[in-house]
Amino acid sequence: MITQPAQHQPLEPVEKFTGELSTTFREYILLPRCTRSETDIRHVSMQTRISHDMALQIPLMSAAMEAVSGATIATALARHGGMAVLPAGNVPLEHQLEELKAVKRFKAGFVESVITVTPDTPLHQLLEMETRHGFSTFPVVDQQGKLVGLITEKKYHPSRDADLVVRERMIPLEKLVVGRHGISLSEANDRIFESGIGVLPIIDEEGKLRSVVFFRDLKHHHLYPDALVDEHKRLRVAAAISTHPEDRERARLLVDCGADVLVVDASDGYSEYMRDTLVDVKKLGVPVVAGNVVDRDGFRFLAENGADAVKVGIGSGSICTTRRVKAIGRGQATAVSVLARAREEYLAESGRYVPIISDGGIESTGDMAVALATGADVLMMGKYFAGFEESPTQLLTKRLPVLFSGNMTEVEVNVKPYWGEASPRAKNVRRYQQDDPRAFVIEGEEGYVLYKGSLHKHLPRDLRALQGTLSSCGCRNLREFYRYVRLERQSAGSQQEGGTNIFRM
């Protein structure tokens, strides 16, 4: 049943103030509980849900921002059990689809959407394909789709053989180890070792190529046992759309291309536009995340109109100026706690659990812990992921002024550009429901974040810190963490006391 927005009623003067105090995550501290053997850090699960029938191995998502989420970081995050949201905004549909395909190709037991070449493909084209797609092994098929060979970068010289064609350097079919369609993944992995080249083409009875198994995927499985994969063993990834009517077709194409989740991206999700979008895209058969909202009414509106998860947060991002420009929003700790209560209330009434995704307001692993304790099922972050090597922006070196021994000096630091979707650089008119770019209201800033290195190095450490928090609070999982942990509001002095104040050389 479609739920209509509530009719606005005039408020009495005494009703104009909610009685709530807008608070942030860093204003709170968690009180420890007894750590038992079953809540030892080794036994703490970070699994959560993004919908009633889809789990995440870790409660982290990267935001749908051009400076944050691309195919590389989506692949890296999914390997650790989280999920990225590929942005729409000002991104052409073709680029968003290519990014999506790159993620879905990266990890799979049986890769079905493999890129092939023909015997007459010029070898110089392979170099371009390697650069574009990020891999260097291609099955060779004839016009009927039958496998006739395999070409790898080791079989030709990039400059000396540039004028040759694939048939002159490929490994012919009779010298390949192949698998028959229907073979198990375990058997396929065993046969890969026989091949000596780390690739096993899978063909059917007619000799047509059906899929390919790569040794690298077997290796990745051992390195990343908690990778977030779909039923075809492909990495999971979400894709953003706007509430604009023309994005209904974008949504369909994204789902056809393999998007596991659709995120309807709007700065204010409590609207008729969001309702109409939900009604349409829910028919596509994948979980749909809607938002952003900050109160009970907004949550109920989205949940009752079919949202599988609700995104919470307005004006809480580090580069978001919505509260200053429009005086709209809510402190993120208050918003999450209010929506968590609404979620539990809705669960009791309907029997349907609608997860909430906290979007913004996080600066540290301590903030992450408080956000989860306040009731967030998933944490969506931009700045946190923007500084990683895998984010789509370019690594730069900047000279920054610092105060040292009473004197101003400059030091060189590595940084990556970071900008908001409502910044002058992005002007994401579709997300902010502003039809005229010339009159775009700026609600975001742009700048730089410090370069942190690889996600693969830092994310496991931060997850370990979160597991340590749950362990110290006597909790085995995130649901227990929300239900049992106690929070205490800190004074300014307490916050200062909890920080470091040593002199660093």
Task: Say how many residues make up the chain.
Answer: 505
DSSP symbol at 436: -
Residue 26 near residue 495, CB atoms below 8 Å = yes
Give the separation between CA 438 and CA 379, rounded to whole angstroms.
33
Q: Strands across the sheet with 396-404, in order?
A: 396-404, 407-419, 446-450
Q: Strands across the sheet with 171-172, in order?
A: 137-141, 147-152, 171-172
Q: Beta 199-203 vs 209-214: how paired, if at all?
A: antiparallel
Identity (one letter) of the amino acid at 160? R
In our burial notation (b when 16+ CB lie closer than 10 A, e otherwise), range 71-103 reads bbbbbbbbbbbbbbbbbbbebeeeebbebbbbb
Active site amino acids:
320, 431
- Which uninterrupted H or E stretch holds 187? helix 185-195
Residue 179 near residue 190, CB atoms below 8 Å = no
Burial (CB < 10 A; 0-12, 13-18, 19+), residue 232, is: middle
